[in-house]
Amino acid sequence: MTAVDGARQPAGPVPVVLAGARGHGAWHLANLRRLAGAGQLRLAGVCELEPLSPRELDGFEDVVQSPDLTGLLDRTGAPVTVICTPIHTHTGLALAAARAGSHVLLEKPPAPSAEEFRLLAEGVEAAGTACQIGFQSLGSHALDAIVELIADGAVGRVRGIGGAGAWVRGEDYYRRAPWAGRRTLDGRDVVDGVLTNPLAHAVATALRIDGSDRAGDVTAIELEQFRAHDIEADDTTCLRLTTARSTPVTVAVTLCAERNTDPYLVVHGDRGRIVFWYTRDRVLVQRAGQAPEETLHGRTDLLENLLAHVRTGAPLLVPVARTGAFTRVVEAVRTAPPPLRLPDTAWHHAEGPAWRSGGTARRRVIPGVDGLITASAERLALFSELGAAWAGPVSATAAPAPASPPSAPPTPARAAGDEAGPGTP
């Protein structure tokens, strides 16, 4: 073996360990199966509290299973680890893999606080290993096309970027795991809100488009957070931040939508606009006096990019440092007052699709929220500025500064297979 960034690199198919193979981890398992079929990797181990069945491991051979990630990496020597576990376990498991000399693909959000994010960044740097954060939308080739359009002045001076996400989730979505919809669990930060987990891609992608994705690139944050569900975290939120480029970025999101729609971003220019449906890699350019231009783009899989980094030193698409600005948003959400509970008159029950189990489930719908979210993206406005009766006054906060050096959190040796990132394309 030779070394890339201090970690192990095999000559043939790269041995990979998956920590967290159920829930959203099943998506990663399917992706591993695809890449194994292409000869790029070999699934060497699975870290789960309950071993996977032969049916779940169909197509794989000689897979070692263990609930102990450190022991599993010692046994397999895998130079790459995919981590798709509960949010509050991300830092500990990623650092355990890094200390074992294994490069990491870590599901988003990378960490539930600025303190843990710094521990993660410093830990992987000290270990000499790479850590790719699983914002799959940042592998879209559409991003380079949009940045080039902006640089060429296709829509004039950028006035701001608006994001909209209206998704339908049933009440069973918040019963999918003990940490679902929680701000904290057993004294540890979780921050499983709509803005920081299921629709986090909208924030991270808007920041990447603006070239403002590092920790120092955010200067101010305003938040309006609400919940219709009986949870701790937010299920309906509007964010407005200002970047160091003086670009206003708004993102309005809900899991209580009237109907499910593809999330999107709008780049507002003074001579036109660019709409980007980031789960579809679809771009629409609209300019006065010209016909609309729509294009579809490819996407680089983030695990394939990490494997290329291991083999050849190819640059990572989503290194830890380039999620620093997103983590400033996570920290603002974490330290903000709890989301406001919407009055019963502001929402009603309806039937919708059950979460990953087929059939239907009861859900909560906020009438008119879809239109508010669209208006927010169009006008770069907060819910309260759009006249939502339940929104109340604007709550403005300064962008949180990096926290003082913390003591290390406990490093869990076991990986639970709960879903870590609903909404990952």
Domain holding 56: CATH number?
3.40.50.720
- Look up tokens 């709960």; give the residue: 418
Query: How much is the pLDDT for 8?
Result: 46
Average pLDDT, the chain: 91
The verdict on residue 222 lying in a domain is: yes
Query: How much is the pLDDT for 358?
Result: 82
Distance CA 194, CA 231 (A): 12
Burial class (CB in 10 A: 0-12, 13-18, 19+), 411: middle
- Cα distances (angstroms) measured from residue 227 to each of 184, 237, 318, 347, 365: 16, 8, 31, 10, 11
Give yes or no: residues 264 and 374 share one domain: yes
Give yes or no: residues 250 and 381 share one domain: yes
The verdict on residue 417 lying in a domain is: no
Query: How much is the pLDDT for 385?
Result: 97
Distance CA 73, CA 176 (A): 28
Among the candidates 78, 103, 137, a domain finishes at 137
Domain range for residue 76? 2-137
The verdict on residue 131 lying in a domain is: yes
Give yes or no: residues 266 and 392 share one domain: yes
Q: What is the mean pLDDT of residues 170-190?
A: 97
- pLDDT tens digits, one per residue of 197-220: 999 999 999 999 999 999 999 999
Give yes or no: residues 148 and 14 share one domain: no
- Candidates 95, 110, 94; CA nearest to 331 is 110
Query: How much is the pLDDT for 12?
Result: 87
Give yes or no: residues 277 and 182 share one domain: yes
Secondary structure (DSSP) of 171-182: GGGGGSSTTTT-
Beta bridge partners of 307: none
Q: Is the pLDDT of residue 329 over 60?
A: yes
Give yes or no: residues 125 and 200 share one domain: no
Q: Is the pLDDT of residue 392 over 60?
A: yes
Q: Is the pLDDT of residue 399 over 70?
A: no
Distance CA 94, CA 102 (A): 9
The three-class DSSP label of residue 249 is: strand
The verdict on residue 354 lying in a domain is: yes
The verdict on residue 239 lying in a domain is: yes
Q: Domain count for the chain, please give it.
A: 2
Give yes or no: residues 231 and 245 share one domain: yes
Give yes or no: residues 240 and 358 share one domain: yes
Give yes or no: residues 263 and 186 share one domain: yes
The verdict on residue 410 lying in a domain is: no
Q: Is the pLDDT of residue 366 over 80?
A: yes
Q: What is the mean pLDDT of residues 351-367?
A: 93
- pLDDT tens digits, one per residue of 94-117: 999 999 999 999 999 999 999 999
The verdict on residue 310 lying in a domain is: no
- pLDDT tens digits, one per residue of 53-87: 999 999 999 999 999 999 999 999 999 999 999 99
Residue 393's pLDDT band (boundaries 50, 70, 90)?
Answer: low
CATH number for 192: 3.30.360.10
Contact call for residues 420 and 84 (beta carbons, < 8 A): yes
Among the candidates 104, 137, 170, a domain finishes at 137
In degrees to the nearest 10, what's the CA dihedral of 311, 316, 320, 321? 130
The verdict on residue 276 lying in a domain is: yes
Tokens of 147: 């940045």
- Cα distances (angstroms) measured from residue 105 to each of 81, 83, 190: 6, 6, 19
Among the candidates 137, 155, 171, a domain finishes at 137
Give yes or no: residues 193 and 266 share one domain: yes
Q: Is the pLDDT of residue 360 over 80?
A: yes
- pLDDT tens digits, one per residue of 400-416: 443 333 333 333 334 44
Q: Is the pLDDT of residue 420 over 70?
A: no
Residue 9's pLDDT band (boundaries 50, 70, 90)?
Answer: low
Query: How much is the pLDDT for 356?
Result: 84
Give yes or no: residues 69 and 186 share one domain: no
Give yes or no: residues 364 and 378 share one domain: yes
Share of the chain above pLDDT 70, in %: 90
- Look up tokens 């924030």; give the residue: 203
- Look up tokens 């109907």; give the residue: 259
